[in-house]
Structure 1
Amino acid sequence: METKIWKDGAGKLWTHDHRRLLAFKLARKCMPYQMASKGEVDNQMWKMSTKNGGTSIRLKMEDGQSMTVE
């Protein structure tokens, strides 16, 4: 399954699936991807935020705790 990505106006890449990105990063594997359509991007913008320019990913775990990976 390919992860949807897009490039913003500043040329920065974003992904819809941070968990999958993290899994591939931890496995040191290349992640298959496909460019997202404008509609797909617009649908997902509510969850796109960053306080550090995307240098880390914070995942919420099932038990209510969170994990940050850089």
Structure 2
Amino acid sequence: MQPATLFTDTVPMPADGRAVWLRTADGVRLRAAVWPGARGTVLLFPGRTEVVEKYGDVIARLVAAGWGVLTLDW
């Protein structure tokens, strides 16, 4: 995994998130982002070709409620 950028200058995102690049078995590169949470983890799958940042407000509300979030661009 390699570090990736979360574009927080365009959309407010919770501060404790991090993003990484993942490489699939067939060579496709995906950007994944994760925020920790004590209540459990919500898997958030944006629509095809949508980016993590589009759901910044949803992620912020989930994290504020104590949920962790794992999401990716695909």
The reply to whether TM is greater than 0.5 is no
Normalised TM-score (structure 2): 0.29
Higher relative contact order (CA 8 A, sep 6+): 2
Choose between structure 1 and 2: higher strand proportion: 2
Structure (1 or 2) with the larger CA radius of gyration: 1
Normalised TM-score (structure 1): 0.30
